[in-house]
Amino acid sequence: MRPIIGITSRQPFIETSGGRLRAHVVNEVYTAAVIRSGGTPILLPPVDPDEAPRLLDRLDGLVLSGGGDIDPRLYQGEYHDDMYMIDDSRDLFEFALVKEAQSRKMPALAICRGLQVVNVALGGSLIEDIPSEIGSTDHAVRGPGVVDCHQTVTIAAGTLVAEAIGSTKVCVNSIHHQAVRKVASGLRAAGTTPDGVVEVLDPEDHTWPLLAVQWHPEYLAVKDDPSSLALFGALVENATARATS
């Protein structure tokens, strides 16, 4: 039986026959990676956060996808001119998903914004803008380059991500202008790039199979990147074990 994997969605405006309307979307590369790994994906649009427990009752695993920035008010941060696509309904819904997934120890793969959501939901904070604070411009590649790796991340041995990919060094892509500042209680910074930006979070309690990465393995999977496929494979394997236990 293929496990059911929920994927969080974003809400851009699109042109429709009824005019310019908001839509619930997920890039196809997410669903393709889940299907390829043996899971069945379903879309999770933002709903009332109180619905999170009932939703997770019907899922075997969770992907917290990438997207716009988290409202800085939610981590006592400051607004920056380069922040974009702030969506309070998505923030609060995904915070509820994270807390419920943690309490259930539900398998989860948190990608880019997803890693940041996990960190803020559990009490951490973010660097509002990497270029203006750290000076690095190496983290925001866009266009055709998103399917290629260009940064090396060093990962602590024994962490869930290192175990999933079978290595403590991995070449990744990078499409973000924010990053972890204060690490939330119950998590630890477990992987960094040479400029010190956190690219992996690891739960202190490994009975929660959380894989949290700042890069975008769903894009790298398009080119059969082994480490990226291994992350989705580990999620589906953990979800299958949960579904059949």
Strands (E), 17-166: 19-22, 40-44, 61-64, 108-111, 126-127, 151-155
Give the integer Cα–Cα distance in Å for 149 and 213: 14
Residue 113 to residues 3, 85, 90, 151, 178: CA-CA distances in angstroms? 24, 11, 11, 18, 9
pLDDT in the model for residue 58 = 97
pLDDT in the model for residue 128 = 97
How do residues 8-30 score in pLDDT, each as one tens digit? 999 888 999 999 999 999 999 99
pLDDT in the model for residue 76 = 97
What does the pLDDT average to over 113-118? 98
pLDDT in the model for residue 141 = 80
Task: For 62-91, give one letter per residue: b (16+ CB within 10 A) or e.
Answer: bbbbbbbbbbbebbebeebeebeeebeebb
Give the integer Cα–Cα distance in Å for 121 and 85: 18
- Helix (H), strand (E) counts: the chain: 8, 13
How do residues 122-137 score in pLDDT, each as one tens digit? 999 999 999 999 988 7
Say how far residue 22 (Cα) sits from the centre of its chain: 22
pLDDT in the model for residue 143 = 82
Q: Where are the domains of the chain?
A: 4-244
pLDDT in the model for residue 180 = 98
pLDDT confidence tier of residue 110, bands split at 50, 70 and 90? very high
At 211 the three-state DSSP class reads: strand
- pTM (whole model) above 0.85: yes
More confident residue, 135 or 2: 2
At 129 the three-state DSSP class reads: coil
Residues taking part in catalysis: 112, 216, 218
What contacts 235, CB < 8 A, 6 or more positions away?
Answer: 5, 34, 37, 39, 61, 63, 107, 108, 109, 209, 211
pLDDT in the model for residue 1 = 84
How do residues 202-226 score in pLDDT, each as one tens digit? 999 999 999 999 999 999 999 999 9
pLDDT in the model for residue 185 = 97
Length of the chain: 245
The mean pLDDT of the chain is: 96
pLDDT confidence tier of residue 183, bands split at 50, 70 and 90? very high
At 210 the three-state DSSP class reads: strand
pLDDT in the model for residue 142 = 79
pLDDT confidence tier of residue 62, bands split at 50, 70 and 90? very high
How do residues 159-177 score in pLDDT, each as one tens digit? 999 999 999 999 999 999 9
Say how far residue 3 (Cα) sits from the centre of its chain: 19
Share of the chain above pLDDT 90, in %: 91
Q: Is the pLDDT of residue 138 over 80?
A: no
Give the integer Cα–Cα distance in Å for 154 and 55: 35
Share of the chain above pLDDT 70, in %: 100
pLDDT in the model for residue 234 = 98
4-244 is classed CATH 3.40.50.2300: no
Pairing relationship of beta strands 13-16 and 40-44 according to DSSP bridges: unpaired
Torsion sign (Cα): 196, 68, 115, 1: negative
Q: Which two tokens stand for residue 217?
A: 């393995």
Q: Is the pLDDT of residue 74 over 90?
A: yes
